[in-house]
Amino acid sequence: MTNKRPETSRWFQTGPSAPAELAAATPSRRLARSLSRRQFLQAVLASSLASAARPSRAAPAAGQVGSPSAGLQPYQDRPQIWVRWNNRILLCYRAHPTQKFPYVYPLAGPITGLSLATETGLPWPHHRSLFFGCDRVNGGDYWAGDLSRGHIRSTGPRVGAATKDRVEILDACEWRQPQGTVVMKDQRRVVVKVESDRVHCLDWEIVWTAVGDVRIHKTNHSLFAVRVAPDLAPDGGGQLVNAEGLSGEKATFGKPSAWCACFGKRQRLGGSIIEGIALMDHPSNPWAPCPWFTRDYGFISPTPLNFIERPWELPAGKAVTLRYRVVLHADQPQQAGLPQLYKAWTTS
């Protein structure tokens, strides 16, 4: 049930173009219309001198990003890490110390840019988009309620390796009991990838370590989960399906599956565009194949601890490695290629 902890050193190391008529209306032409020839030449000279005096954009200062370019671009603002794709916001990893736990919001749809998850919604407004947590850990609650009941505190996220088509987000978290004792730790690595203009992936690897002996009692509030946007949930007109093709809460709840997805027509844009979000559970995870906790209001989670018959225990110093893939996609699951994405991920 326990996996060998990976070496720490492996981890810790636009929108559309402007219309032609706007592009043609350059600053020089606008100035020329409103100024005399002499004033115009003076303005051009002043502008040229000011441009020469500006620092080069090739080496932006700390806390800044370079000029917009194609591909993925991370930007860190203290405990938040934003990732853009072609200068459009793709996601933000949020790890402020006042939060119950770190979470990711928004998760932009590849076509619309609308978030595929909600930061809070009814019922159960404590759900935070895409997150990792657990209740009933040595009596503490690391899922809901205020920080005095339990707190997953980030020690400070940072950007790892970054290219135009792949960005790493690294974080280490302490699971603090109400009295401040650290009962568990986790190291997490999130790799953001762009498969195509219509499919984006987040590959998660979490090493979850017991500082002291840990006992977790049966709970539906456990581990990796997403609360989807209302228009993707069955209650809002969307659909919930699993890898076996079963649909809806009644058919998917408690059933083992490689993945579950919610998708639907984006209602804010007239319902003409279909987008969705899928969670995938890796076959190397300790409970695979894992039963799922699903709700028609838009909650999906590979939640093994809701189905155990006796408390799950992890001795002090031992760790489990958990792997999940999140797919942000356009189109319906089969059209988006979810079976192929799962196979590629689990065999690579």
Report d(CA 145, CA 179) in Å as an integer.
15
Q: Which of 124, 163, 108 lies closest to 275, judged by CA? A: 108
The H or E element that residue 209 is part of is strand 199-210
Domain boundaries, the chain: 27-52, 78-347
CA angle 18, 24, 26 (to 5 degrees): 100
Q: What is the pLDDT along the chain (348 residues), one digit of tens a residue?
A: 444 444 433 443 333 333 332 233 334 434 333 344 444 334 433 343 333 333 333 333 344 444 556 899 999 999 999 999 999 999 999 999 999 999 999 999 999 999 999 998 777 788 789 999 999 999 999 989 899 999 999 999 999 999 999 999 999 999 999 788 999 999 999 999 999 999 999 999 999 999 999 999 999 989 999 999 999 999 999 999 999 999 999 999 999 999 999 999 998 888 889 999 999 999 999 999 999 999 999 999 999 999 999 999 999 999 999 999 999 999 999 999 999 999 999 998
DSSP state of 189: E
β-bridge mates for residue 208, sequence order: 186, 320
pTM: 0.81
Q: Alpha helices, DSSP H only, in the chain? A: 20-24, 27-34, 37-53, 249-252, 333-336, 338-347
Specify the 3-state DSSP secondary structure of 268.
Answer: helix
Please tell me the predicted confidence (pLDDT) of residue 69: 67
Structural domain 78-347, CATH architecture: Distorted Sandwich (2.70)
Report d(CA 35, CA 348) in Å as an integer.
63
Q: Alpha helices, DSSP H only, in 203-287? A: 249-252
The answer to whether the bond into 79 is cis (omega within 30° of 0) is: no
Please tell me the predicted confidence (pLDDT) of residue 299: 96
Count the residues in the chain. 348
Instruction: Return the structure tokens found at 8.
Output: 């720490």
